[in-house]
Amino acid sequence: QFFVFCHGLLQLSQLLVSGYLKSSISTIERRYGLSSQTSGLLASFNEVGNTLLIVFISYFGSRVHRPRFIGCGAVLVSLAGFLMSLPHFITGPYKYDQSVASMFSNTTDLCQPGVPGSWGNLSNAGCTPHAARENHEVLLVMFIAQVLLGIGGVPIQPFGISYIDDFASERNSPLYLGILFSVTVIGPGVAFMLGSAMLRFYVDIDKVTGDEVQLTNKDPRWVGAWWLGFLVAASLVALSAVPYFFFPREMPKEVGEVLQIALHTNTSYFPLVLLRNLRHPVYLLVVLAQVNLSAMVAGLATFMGKFLERQFSLTASLANMIIGAVNIPGAMVGIVVGGAILKRFQMSLRQCSAMCVLGMFLCLLLAFPLLFLGCPTQKVAGITYSESSEFGHHALECNLQCNCPEKAYNPICGSNAIEYISPCSAGCSIVNINADNSVLNYTNCSCISKNGLAGFAKPGTCGTGCSHLFLPFVVLSCLAGILASTSHTPSFMLILRSIQPEDKSFAVGIQFMLLRVLAWMPGPVLYGSAIDTTCIFWEKKCDRKAACRYYDNNLFRQR
């Protein structure tokens, strides 16, 4: 029982490390200027290390000191978690364009007519070879960490489950495995809640004092303390790893049950068994169906937060809170309900497949309206909206005398409800500051005219004006998720019951292998690439595309 407790704790903290990355992905993109394709690849890269080793591990399972192997894997996972946070400590503080001069820079992004050179140091700042190299190093460290995370995670689940199943009594084994299974489902939810908590802190909380931070967490330039969660999760893994080095290789079996005789399939038949399973039509079709569903879930899990942030103008923290507290528990409910129905009605294989089809069909019905629940991107001058169409050609020249840099990014919302990518592009020449050094508003803006007078602007984005659609979206997506996940258990039953008993563990191994290679690896990369195709304004770093500043929200939603 102590082993089951330790194993539950370890699985939870391991899932925290891998799930936390998904909750902070949009933040890491913004901090290090990554496209969604790159961040999707990063998110799925732990599957690479995992897949390479999983076959060997399942094969050597019974011949090694399992608890010690699990402990070593956990140490690797913990190391990977600490490595993930390393980029924060090897790079300088996060820089963003400011209207108020600060200790980092005395340039501001206001309109300063007649000072043509005032921008030189901003437009090419941070384009030194050192800066470019720093970015490569960051990516390299993170990809290595992800591979280590995958490798370290390999022994944890299979060895733990077989160890428990070997030494638990027949009566208790299903209970113990059920507990572990529920932990693996709760884990990602806890990871998103951790993300929600950590991203409320400013990224450089350890490098700058509070009053120097001029951003609020609603600002589109805000970057939360993404690295903090990795430290928390990695420390938890390290703690959970300790007991494993003290468990015995074998335990006395729990009392009160019949000895079971292990059937070991002879491995020389490996190719034969593989062919026999893959030729089995039920097995093949169900696994392909699971591949399709899992690819969708893998992509959603990675980018759902980013989607909510952009569509409904939420903070990263709130988006994670919704996913962790609503969507993931919804999926858990669906899995439990599916299993309960199965048990209650003792379903045949045909009924199992009918139940899967029904669940999917209802899910599609409920998910269809999600295509329309959203708003177009807000009007952004020069990007999604040009005033010249309304006011003749005056609008294009209103900020010519300002000599604005191309890459300034400090969005403001004009009194005319149009967003400008910086105070300079709106022609604002005066900034008014609150007592705590944060920006109150910008005035004297030559591009924002109201009734012939120069208008003013507030810091931050105008937002998409979509808050009224947020609740229906969450409710529908949660219900669709519940319905889809009712097919989880019946689809497993289809596989387990259609396969010859002696091939069972092998068939499940092949199934997970196929899910990894065909769904969990490519899923996030495909989603990320699709998201990148909807970008309408890229941040430029050293003449290369970095992170996306503005998406076409309608295309983002549909694709």
Q: Which of 430, 459, 488 is the last residue of a domain?
A: 459
Whether 5 and 57 share a structural domain: yes
Strand 428-433 vs strand 439-450: parallel, antiparallel, or unpaired? antiparallel
Instruction: Specify the length of the chain in residues.
Output: 559
Whether 52 and 191 share a structural domain: yes
Cβ-based neighbours of 268, under 8 Å, separated by 6 or more: none
Instruction: Give the count of domains, the chain.
Output: 3
| Residue 399 burial (CB count, 10 A) | 24
pLDDT in tens, the chain (559 residues): 899 999 999 999 999 999 999 999 999 999 999 999 999 999 999 888 788 777 666 666 567 788 999 999 999 999 999 999 999 999 888 888 776 655 445 556 788 776 554 444 444 555 677 777 778 889 999 999 999 999 998 888 878 888 888 888 877 877 888 888 888 888 999 999 999 999 999 999 888 876 677 788 888 889 999 999 999 999 999 999 999 999 998 888 776 444 343 335 444 556 676 677 677 888 889 999 999 999 999 999 999 999 999 999 999 999 999 999 999 999 989 988 998 898 888 888 899 999 999 999 999 999 999 999 988 888 888 888 776 554 433 445 677 778 777 777 889 999 888 898 888 888 888 888 887 777 888 888 888 876 667 788 998 888 888 889 999 999 999 999 999 999 988 998 888 788 777 777 677 777 888 888 999 999 999 999 999 999 999 988 877 788 999 999 999 999 9
Whether 356 and 478 share a structural domain: yes
Whether 473 and 358 share a structural domain: yes
Q: Which of 420, 52, 75, 403 is CA-nearest to residue 239?
A: 75
Whether 437 and 346 share a structural domain: no
pLDDT of 123 reads 47
Whether 52 and 27 share a structural domain: yes
pLDDT of 3 reads 92
Whether 338 and 445 share a structural domain: no
Domain boundaries, position 301: 278-377+464-558
pLDDT of 306 reads 95
Whether 448 and 369 share a structural domain: no
Alpha-carbon dihedral 384, 386, 389, 390, rounded to 10 degrees: 100
pLDDT of 266 reads 46
* 238: helix, strand or coil: helix
Inside any domain, residue 500: yes
DSSP symbols for 454-497: EEEEEES----S-HHHHHHHHHHHHHHHHHHHTTHHHHHHHHHH
Inside any domain, residue 268: no
Question: Taking a C-beta distance cutoff of 8 angstroms, is the pair 208, 93 a contact?
Answer: yes
Q: Which of 192, 110, 23, 62 is CA-nearest to residue 505?
A: 62
Inside any domain, residue 263: no
Cβ-based neighbours of 397, under 8 Å, separated by 6 or more: none
* 423: helix, strand or coil: coil
CA–CA distance, 382 with 397 (Å, rounded to integer) = 12
Q: What amino acid occupies position 56? A: F
Inside any domain, residue 264: no
pLDDT of 173 reads 79
Inside any domain, residue 369: yes
Q: Which of 403, 404, 405, 423 is CA-nearest to residue 413?
A: 423
Alpha-carbon dihedral 331, 333, 335, 338, rounded to 10 degrees: -130
Inside any domain, residue 383: no
Whether 223 and 357 share a structural domain: no
CATH of the domain at 159: 1.20.1250.20
Residue 390 has φ and ψ, to the nearest 5°, of -100, -40
Whether 87 and 209 share a structural domain: yes
Q: Which of 357, 352, 365, 367 is CA-nearest to residue 296?
A: 367
